[in-house]
Chains A and B, each alone.
Chain A
Amino acid sequence: MSEECLNHAETARTIGRGNGPFITGNTERTHDIDRLRSGHKVLAEYTFERKPVKRGYAGRILYVNLTDLEIREIPLTSDVKEKFTGGKGFGLKMTWDLMGPDTRWNDPENILALNSGPLNGTTQYSGMGKCLSTTVSPSTNIICDSNAGGYFAPYLKFSGFDSLILQGKAREDILVFIDGTAGKVTIETAPYEETNSHLLSEQLTYMYAAEDSESARQKVAVVSAGKGSENSYWGILNISFYDPRRRVTRMKQHGRGGLGTVFRDKKLKALVARIEGFNGMTNDPQDIDRITETGIKHNREIRDLDMHENNMRTVGTGNLVEIMDAYDLLPTENYRFGSFPKASRIYSTRFYKRFTQGIPDGCWYGCNIACSKAVDGFVLRTGPYKGERVTVDGPEYETIGGGANMSVWDVDWILEFNFYCDTYGLDTISTATAIAFYMEMYEYGILNKERCDGLELCFGNAEAVLEFLHRIASGDRSEFIQVASKGVRRMKDHLIAKGWGDPDLIENCGMEVKGLEYSEYVCKESLAQQGGYALASKGPQHDEAWLIFMDMVNNQIPTFKDKAEALHYFPIWRTWFAIVGLCKLPWNDIVPADNASTDEPAKIPEHVRNYAEIMSGILGREITPQDLMDQSERVYNWQRAMNVWMGKGRRKDDIPPYRSMGPVTEMEYLSRKDRYDNQLKELVGISPEELSSMSVADRIRVLREHRYEEYNKLVDAVYYRRGWTPNGVPSPKKMRELGFSDEKEMLEMLQKAIDDDDAAGLNVWGGSYGEGDEIPCDDPRYWE
């Protein structure tokens, strides 16, 4: 922190606070809490019996209908617990029960579910406070799930509820307050509070703290979105955690899929949870010693090894920037390239200097990885808060990678972009990926200044990007902002409908699948990761599978069968974190010293055993690593089945744009000419003589045919391995094996989808198999 910033922080800390006007640790902005509170009218109130958590479960779901102002409890049955475990499993199940398949994101019937999970709220092991949320996404119109840290999910559970189900739409801006101490839920109008998150979460933290003390503020968690969420499809939910050392309400983000857009469409301004008197036993573990011992062992690893491994405690996930750049995986200029000469300007060493060090930075109690880095006393240069000092949470790798993708190589600018995306409630990933696409279209003249309503959106134009954000947040109605703020898919449709460019070029360059923008990794040289992205249930986010090293560098999964096995195991394993309420980073961003000598180091077997230990210790019955996989596989298949139900769970929905698979343009091909020429010779079998007579355009075409053929074979192998039909539908046989024999409606829906595909001739392999090629299975009706 600079001397000036330190002085400021010092000044701010000395200023008294109260439930009247107060000055924040950063902004010197005064909030009149009494005036804000005077606008609150209680529209509905519900009192509930306070009950302790039993072996990781509260045993109840809280249902709130914002149209009817109905608040009620739904008991959690043992059948639902057994089959869906928790977290997003509960969100999916409740959505299936309470909503129809044609529900779109802005229908009142759409459900926004915020969920904890049976391990959530544990403090003896790192990373156990994640909130897992689900809704119908505006980008994809299927279920999107997203996870975030902060205190809301544990507080919801300790208040007495495993999940919060929000349905309907309010008529005016409201908030839902869950008072876990008093046993009361209220729906209140909230007309005067700010909408943007950094201010709103601060105002509500002070307003709802039981008293004027740092410890009371720590017991309040706020969920909010922002003006950007209102006016785009990239809305996020910010989940707060009060940081008493900085005296700042900090936030973690539910980034993907537009959850904040749904939140604001429901006229939700905020959710607030408050709970007193919780501790390391509140999750009611059956065997605390077992959990504590496992946690101590893991904490020792973090203490001794993190500085030699990923350095998460000092730079967070930003450590990946230099790695990705070195391996040609850092997206630059809309994924055209994977490295860039200026990239060192945004390496983690540059951010390290800005992050306030030496402060525990966990986003839930007990997390020793503590990767939630923050820059304090940052002075904003643009926008409505120009000149104010703020704390910037992050930036995480994806946000920095987004800067690279737009070709902006400036630490200060990335911090400002990060801050405004967060407070406006915009997903840094979708925003950056979409803008990078618009910039490429600008370069080709498909977009121009006039078509962008005065914005010069060329690569590297940092100021134009910030202006774009401010215009979204201000509710700008110009045609460009209206279309552009809805993301890559809508922009593709717009450009093609206007006849402004070659439709193939537009389709190939825009990085989305199912309507969701890609996250920030170049996967052109990893077939497995192309599948990892395009086959992911919610759309191309890397949280299901990150296989680039295993595939491209380690060469550990050379065959289609190997890749399919990885695309079976890792998505299922990674889904497990989302059903129990955990962060994945303590699993794979720190590894035990002897991990190298294990049979399958990529799975980090000791950490998998740790999780089985902890789950056994909490539930009070023996759970094996295989049990964890079984729990997760059920939910994974249920989500895919819901995609089928909502009309987006077939092979046609799993096809990536070519930019994610190989070079679209001649410039891209020529930038890695030796690599691609060699592949044409070695993989496609083109002789050097033939190659020398081929134009670059021909080389691109032949390589592209080869790669799509490979992709189709990969998809065949993956669908087969997962027990899905060749058109991607989970078979009723598979669902019964997973334990869903009684879910008749689901089984019938899937059977009908398969029958329809049969009638349309779609239950056939996608790849072309010649003599000697290994097809995934000889039985043409293997799924029956």
Chain B
Amino acid sequence: MNAAMTQDAILKISSLQKRYGEVNVLKDIDISMAPGEFLVLVGPSGCGKSTLLSCISGLTDISSGTIHIAGRDRTNDEPADRDIAMVFQSYALFPNMSVERNIGFGLEVRKVNEAEKKRKVAEVADLLKIEHLLHRRPAELSGGQRQRVAMGRALVREPKLFLFDEPLSNLDAKLRVTMRTEIKRIHQTTGASIVYVTHDQIEAMTLASRIVVMKDGVVQQIGTPQEIYNKPVNAFVADFMGAPSMNLMTGTATREGEHVRLQIPTPEGPPLELFDYGPGPETLAAGDTAELTIGLRPEAMTDLGLRSGGMDGRTLQSADCLLDVVEPAGADTYAVVQLGGTEAVARLSADAPVAAGQRVPIAFDLSKISYFDIASGNRL
């Protein structure tokens, strides 16, 4: 993040803390967000995402720190004065009002004149394809339609910043995918700045321009989906992001000349041996051996060896593995291999001629490897 960008940040959170009595729910949060960004806060349930969003909105008072929105200190401002809009998980539509009045409520409160209000509501209704619903009540709408109305209410005021709290979690799986695309489309057409909370890492990966991964009230990593996915800063992020998640195997690494020798124990016999010709774990000095966590995503453990046999022996290395369980999943077949004290998952092609109990050569892509400290879980 360069200095100019911080200057123009649409949202800048500095040293934010939130305590409920003795409990520190948010610890020293620092986040900066550029205009037009789609920032996704992701983390397991109870990690403080909603609380953080609520602090940004002003619905919750913070214990210490500052919040700047569009360059102005908004720490002590009312929610209504922060130039933001929020879409709630439960939609929070006004049940006694028509869709039209729901969407126009913010304008009504601000005493925008009737014609102007009608025009803006119509514009937003058009964008969200809900013109035909304007005279209905929320109770007469489907989940997806309510979702659109909730977004309409946020969009109509053209605020500087949009806050979404798990907006899709009340929808069924299929609708969730549709609405996800819809939200992405709206972001692209309006160029709005969005802070979006979800516990669903797939949603995070597909929507975000940048992701903030949280755990226990602490920001673990901020980065683009690619950074988060390929270079997780710790074992938690590695495990949380991606489905199936990264295989975290315990093994040893020894630096031998130009490569690092990796040994991953297997229950059935001699350990699996791989050679990392890349930089390897930075902290490992020449000749040293260390026990550590070796992280490889399922798509870095494939059946390429079965099909082509063309191993270059450097980034792509083959080793025989005993398949414990084989789970066809349509586009892919997942195979479970007992490696380094964990049930490592390999992602094979759908038509791979394999069955449980077989020993087959698996191709390991070492360009995608990550190392983590066993004790701290931090990336090495």
Q: Do A and B come from one complex?
A: no
**A contact set with B: CB distance below 8 Å:** none
**B contact set with A: CB distance below 8 Å:** none
